[in-house]
Structure 1
């Protein structure tokens, strides 16, 4: 199952609370129509009040993530990290889980 670093947990929680007042809001990670350069899933994120009907819901330390089927498969054994640059832009990184 996808795990989050402490940074990612804090950043996702902040993003969701600033962009939605819905009590069950979360960050939705979904596949895009265009595959990545390696042919794998290219993923996008958005804050949403509710998951889509087929989304897998992952809750980590009160942070809710909604993963579509491709994202859930692509991220199953991964760690999500996040950072904020000097201009306030958020970036995410997907890393392999260390055994």
Structure 2
């Protein structure tokens, strides 16, 4: 199962809290073409999504993302302009 670093938890919670869907929403990760993943704020999970909750951070994963990220760790870091970059690493 995908795990989140403490930094990712904090950043995801902040992103969702600043959105219009703070009470029910989360970060949704879904499969795109090739090995790409789409990441964005969603008001609620879509039918069939796996819901991951960690320290108040909620992540919704579609089936393909669940499979692709099963043994991964999601981290996040803001750059100098305040944009967030998410990185995925293998679980140790």
Establish whether TM, by shorter chain, passes 0.5: yes
Aligned to 2:8: 8
Aligned to 2:61: 67
**Residue 96 of structure 1 pairs with residue 77 of structure 2:** no
What CA distance in whole angstroms lies between the structure 1 residues aligned with 2:45 and 2:21? 15
Unaligned runs of 5+ in 2: none
Alignment of 1:21-36 (within 5 A): 21-32=21-32, 34-35=33-34
Structure 1 residue 45 displacement after superposition: 0.6
**Cα displacement string for residues 22-73 of structure 1 (whole angstroms, at most 9, x for unaligned residues):** 41210000011x21xxxxx310111011111011111111111000001000
Larger Rg: 1
Number of residue pairs aligned between Structure 1 and Structure 2: 92
Structure 1 residue 20 displacement after superposition: 2.6
What CA distance in whole angstroms lies between the structure 1 residues aligned with 2:72 and 2:45? 21
Q: 1:50 aligns with which of 40, 44, 60?
A: 44
SS of equivalent to 2:80: coil
What CA distance in whole angstroms lies between the structure 1 residues aligned with 2:21 and 2:68? 29
